[in-house]
Amino acid sequence: MIDKAERLLAVKSVKPTSVRILVLAHLLKDAKAQSLKDLEVSLYNTDRSSIFRTLKTFEEYKVVHSIDDGSGMMKYAVCAEGCNCDPKDLHYHFYCTNCSLTYCLLDNPIPIVTLPENFKMHQANMVIKGLCDKCP
């Protein structure tokens, strides 16, 4: 995962500091999205503000995207290599109401929505709620 994290940072032109590699390797390990709190718990040797700053940098450079799944905490998931977080890169997310995990549904891009004239889209929050395959 360290190799993969380093490669992805290089692709996205982000300077690979040790905290960045650590956070990204951790996010890459699982298919699920993670909140700042999840990361804090897993990376207990790293302070909260470094993790937070790292996530903000990652968002800026399109290394991760944030997901508001309605759980009250923003979650973060790794973007695909060619992702620019453009409308065409946006996809549905799945939130399991039992285990509270959030997954990217990369094969399900969001439909193109025709907005009224002069309206501009900044974000689309498409979350499907239900039970994941690990929950009864």
92 three-class SS: strand
Q: Which C-beta is closer to Zn ion: that of 50 or that of 87?
A: 87
- Cβ atoms 29, 42 nearer than 8 A: no
132: contact with Zn ion by CB under 5 A:
yes
Determine the Cα–Cα distance for residues 85 and 59; give it in Å rounded to an integer: 9
Contact flag: residue 126 with Zn ion (CB under 5 A): no
**Quick one: which segment of 24-32, 43-51, 117-125, 126-134 binds Zn ion (CB under 5 A)?**
126-134
Min dist. Cβ of residue 59 to Zn ion (A): 12
User: Would you say 55 and 36 are in contact if contact means Cβ atoms under 8 Å apart?
Assistant: yes
What part of residues 93-122 is at the interface with Zn ion (CB under 5 A)?
96, 98-99, 104
Question: With respect to Zn ion, which residue has the nearer C-beta, 46 or 110?
Answer: 110
- Could you tell me how many residues of this chain bind Zn ion (CB under 5 A)? 7
Residue whose CB is less far from Zn ion, 23 or 96: 96
Q: Which two tokens stand for residue 56?
A: 């903000």
Say whether residue 77 binds Zn ion (CB under 5 A).
yes
Written as six digits, the tokens of 30 are: 């699982």
For Zn ion, the closer CB: 28 or 132:
132
11 forms part of the interface with Zn ion (CB under 5 A): no
- List strand residue ranges (DSSP E) for the chain, in order: 32-35, 64-67, 75-78, 91-96, 102-109, 127-130
Helix or strand holding residue 86 (H, E): none
Contact residues for Zn ion (CB under 5 A)? 77, 96, 98-99, 104, 132, 135
